[in-house]
Structure 1
Amino acid sequence: MNPREDNVWIPDDTYYCKLIGRLVDTMAGKSPGPFPNCDWRFNEFPNPAAHALHVTCVELMALAVPGKDVGNALLNVVLKSQPLVPRENITAWMNAIGLVITALPEPYWIVLHDRIVSVMGSPALTSETEWAGYPFALLDFTACHQSYSEMNCSYVLALAHAVWHHSSIGQLSLIPKFLSETLKPVVQTEFQLLYVYHLVGPFLQRFQQERTRCMLEIGVAFYEMLQAVDQHCQHLSYMDPICDFLYHIKYMYTGDSVKEQVEKIIMTLRPAMKLRLRFITHSSKIETSSAAATVASTSSSSTPQPPTSSLSSSSAVASPSSAQHAHTPI
């Protein structure tokens, strides 16, 4: 046996941090740069950053380490607390990781899906109790990072956006299958649903332009997840933002292309949700009024009030003005 095979070098976290740091410094134009400057007009690479990216990918593929382990190590550069990663420049490091991991073969970047599934099962998203803060603020990576209040779910969310932003449409085409086969069975709480909407929402425009079929599949998957959450949760606190997002998808991306599948799902939802989504299904006035009456009777039975206030509250629910949703960003 070759003696070299007995002592296989396994790189540690410091190696991957220095490797990504070299690419970050090159893209930032740090002088003197890690790579010598030359006349790029007659070179194989158009600029130092392209050269550094190519060299980094070749070096990673030459390691005697499985691609899955290399991919996880690259993600850990920012997901774990690393002393070599400057906190004030974390987004540049995420961008560099996105460039590297999407330029590598599938076994290297598919591990991101496993990280997302792991976050979906974390107590922060599986708990049915309300978060201490506004959930949309907690999913804002920039604000949380600057205030030193970031959570693992916000880090994974930002890193997934960085990776998918640099992905080709062929790589992004796996997202609908990932949603329907992997994430949909996991989503049971309202926080998990909001997290999925945050995760995929920024890429809907690209799906519509480059893969319309994938856009339609994602639209149906969103409603199927909502159906699972509606059946599992006793109370929904963010119905209006969820409905705003679904209306945005309908009028901006899908139209009536998924109307048949969506109508069947919406008819199984709770009356309050059906009332809010009635313009997607184009339900009749009879169905709308019956849903409004059900919502009014439920609210009046749960909270005893004088007859006059009960009538006013039920009329407010049935009035068209109450159907207007607050445009809360998702």
Structure 2
Amino acid sequence: MIAKYPEYTYQECISSYGKPPTIIPQTHMPFYYGSLIDRLLPITDYIICRALELPLVDTACQRLIQSLAPLYKYHPTPLTFTYTVLYYLNDHMKKPLSKTFVLTMRRHVEDMHLTEAFEKYNHQRDSLESLFIELVDRIALSLDFVLSPPPFVAQDWKTAEFSPGAQTIYLACIEIMASPHPPEAIVSAMINMLMVKPQQRPYNVINILALLLTALPDVYGNVLHDEFIAVVDRSLAKNHTFEEIVFDTFEEAQLLHLTSRPLIINALSQAYWTHCKWITLEKFTCDLAPKILDRVQTENDLWYALRLLVPLLQRCYEWPKEKTRHLTESLEVVRTIIDRIAYLTSIGIDIVHSDELCDLLYHFKYVFVGDYLRNNAEATFAGFPKKMRDRLRFYATQSDRKTDEKKMGPETWKRRLAELYACSWYWGDISWKWAEKLLLLCPEGYFLVRDSRSDSHLFTVSYHLDGKVYHSRVSTFGTLAHLGDRRPLHCSESVVELIQHVVEQSQRGEHDMLMHRRGAEAEASKMQLSRPLGRLELLPSLQYLCRLKIRQKCPPAAISSLRLPPNLLAYVTHTKYLIPDLEASEQVLKIRAENGLWPVS
């Protein structure tokens, strides 16, 4: 093979072309040779994954793994490979085979330092609570050391696959996924650990456990959610006071070792949903939050559920660059909360802390939903007790009742967002700098719509005119969208209709003089939109098109459960899935600009 395809050094290549050497031989440092092992490793990765996935005899798989495992001493990312295989095949692999796979890799991978409880005793000698105490202590040590890292992580940072903290977390996940214990026992041990041992730094411990849960397959998070629902079903919060449930006393209770299982489950659930990725959080707001509220039967259960839901609503609403996507989900959760309060009052539950509950409803209005749920809320408030009705009499002001403008409901909002996402000229969350780069390569009149970086606007129209790129924000008032101030010449029911109107107006030779200034240099005297710059016109990659089609066809709650490897699932669930490769798009536009290859209108 080497004789047929020889590998030459730089000097030998230069000599073969008959050119004089451009380097000094005495000081020449040869480049790294390609290795046959480097070429074999991607093939062995695929072979091992397929062998573990197919219903083969365990002994055959074990022999195959033992034969190929020595190659992984030279694998560039052995921990990532081991973690990915266990994560992706969590439902397929038998536990003994998982352990054999991990221990075989451990013998040949230098930096895979597992606990003695797993290597020697397979998590069978001591309790699971003691195991998690050891794992949490290892992660805490790897995150907080002074000079040298602990001995169970890579000592050479230059060649390490992960940072010390990330390496310890992934090693802990590998142990847990290869453990013979089911997810129910694992999550229960995490909860019991917080009850057995008083913690000096309880928030550090609970965040470490939450990070472990987010790095594990979704089945572990589902078990934690089932634990939370079990607390509500059994009304385990009935013996706690309002102050204990609502106010943050977790750290003090941990230091005094006075913790209760319901409060620990609530705190751990909140940490888990705070650290999770946005696609998992979207599943929570769409599916799991209504399921919790449907089981609430007492006021204490209601406050116990709100302790988890309200901070997560805030996170949904303030998610960076995703404010338009999560707004409708916040509306649905708030609607469900209001309906559940009405149900409790209708069955005769006396709301003792009604003032606090009314204050929370006002908070929902002014922070999350505005007047979107006003009509629904007013109809529901009619069934509240008189004390609560009096407290909520300012929920809809007199001027709100007199206004003629219709308020956009959540279903209408969802439909109009779907229409916007279907337009190829909507580029999502790209910066104004990239918008200018792309549009300056296009003829005048080209435009695109993108997410606004302003807190008071959702979208911005960027367009090329008079040799510059201008940016005009789209304002919304009630159900109407428009460009310019609050009293424009034209308003439309949606952003799509607004853009269509401006394009038709520009094609007739008419111009708008509507502009929000970004500075003195960005002042525009007119506005002209003649042709959209579409995302799909710039030869995007097949990978991008597949991701776009998956996101269009799959419901948001079902995307996280797709049977895909973690890296591919992360690509599919990326928040900026609408944006193609911007550098590749720029190159396509440069070629069009150089050759004049623009579509004829």
- TM-score exceeds 0.5: yes
CA distance in 2 between counterparts of 1:149 and 1:70 reads 23
Which residue is equivalent to 2:170? 54
Partner residue of 1:224 out of 339, 347, 353: 339
TM-score, normalization by structure 2: 0.42
Unaligned runs of at least 5 residues, structure 1:
285-330
Give 1:202 shift.
Answer: 1.6
3-state DSSP of counterpart to 1:194: helix
Alignment-mate amino acid for residue 168 of structure 1 = K
- In structure 2, do the counterparts of structure 1 residues 200 and 147 end up closer, same or farther at CA, with 3 Å as the change threshold? same
- In structure 2, do the counterparts of structure 1 residues 123 and 219 end up closer, same or farther at CA, with 3 Å as the change threshold? closer
Which residue is equivalent to 2:374? 259
Which residue is equivalent to 1:38? 155
CA distance in 1 between counterparts of 2:357 and 2:137 reads 39
Give 1:173 shift.
Answer: 1.5
- In structure 2, do the counterparts of structure 1 residues 249 and 168 end up closer, same or farther at CA, with 3 Å as the change threshold? same
Any residues of structure 2 matched to 1:12-23 within 5 Å, and which? 12-13=127-128, 14-23=130-139
Partner residue of 2:292 out of 164, 177, 183: 183
Unaligned runs of at least 5 residues, structure 2:
1-56, 60-94, 100-120, 400-601
Which residue is equivalent to 1:306? none
1:98 aligns with 2:210: yes
- Asked if the contact 2:191–2:264 (Cα under 8 Å) also holds between the matched residues in 1, the reply is no
Partner residue of 2:275 out of 157, 160, 166: 166
Give 1:73 shift.
Answer: 3.1
CA distance in 2 between counterparts of 1:202 and 1:132 reads 20
1:276 aligns with 2:399: no
Alignment-mate amino acid for residue 224 of structure 2 = L
Which residue is equivalent to 1:75? 191
Give 1:266 shift.
Answer: 1.5
Which residue is equivalent to 1:63? 179
RMSD: 3.1
3-state DSSP of counterpart to 1:43: coil
Which residue is equivalent to 1:144? 253
Alignment-mate amino acid for residue 288 of structure 2 = F
3-state DSSP of counterpart to 2:200: helix
TM-score, normalization by structure 1: 0.73
Quick one: higher RCO (CA 8 Å, sep 6+), 1 or 2? Answer: 1
- Asked if the contact 1:193–1:229 (Cα under 8 Å) also holds between the matched residues in 2, the reply is no
CA distance in 1 between counterparts of 2:278 and 2:144 reads 27
Alignment-mate amino acid for residue 89 of structure 1 = R
Q: Which has the higher strand share?
A: 2
CA distance in 1 between counterparts of 2:361 and 2:135 reads 42
3-state DSSP of counterpart to 1:173: helix
Which residue is equivalent to 1:157? 266
Alignment-mate amino acid for residue 155 of structure 2 = C
CA distance in 2 between counterparts of 1:75 and 1:34 reads 28
CA distance in 2 between counterparts of 1:156 and 1:70 reads 14
Compare 152-161 and 218-227 and name the one that shifted more: 152-161
Give 1:187 shift.
Answer: 0.9
- Identical amino acids, percent of aligned pairs: 25
- Asked if the contact 1:102–1:167 (Cα under 8 Å) also holds between the matched residues in 2, the reply is yes
Give 1:237 shift.
Answer: 1.4
Alignment-mate amino acid for residue 174 of structure 2 = V
Which residue is equivalent to 1:207? 316
Larger radius of gyration: 2
Give 1:22 shift.
Answer: 1.4
Q: Which has the higher helix share?
A: 1
- In structure 2, do the counterparts of structure 1 residues 134 and 75 end up closer, same or farther at CA, with 3 Å as the change threshold? closer
What is the total number of aligned residue pairs between the two structures?
275
1:244 aligns with 2:396: no
- In structure 2, do the counterparts of structure 1 residues 161 and 2 end up closer, same or farther at CA, with 3 Å as the change threshold? closer
Give 1:195 shift.
Answer: 1.3
- Asked if the contact 2:362–2:395 (Cα under 8 Å) also holds between the matched residues in 1, the reply is yes
- In structure 2, do the counterparts of structure 1 residues 283 and 149 end up closer, same or farther at CA, with 3 Å as the change threshold? farther
Give 1:238 shift.
Answer: 0.4
- Asked if the contact 1:126–1:188 (Cα under 8 Å) also holds between the matched residues in 2, the reply is no
3-state DSSP of counterpart to 1:35: coil
Give 1:212 shift.
Answer: 1.4
- Asked if the contact 1:138–1:150 (Cα under 8 Å) also holds between the matched residues in 2, the reply is no
Give 1:93 shift.
Answer: 1.6
- In structure 2, do the counterparts of structure 1 residues 133 and 205 end up closer, same or farther at CA, with 3 Å as the change threshold? closer
CA distance in 2 between counterparts of 1:48 and 1:62 reads 21
- In structure 2, do the counterparts of structure 1 residues 278 and 134 end up closer, same or farther at CA, with 3 Å as the change threshold? same
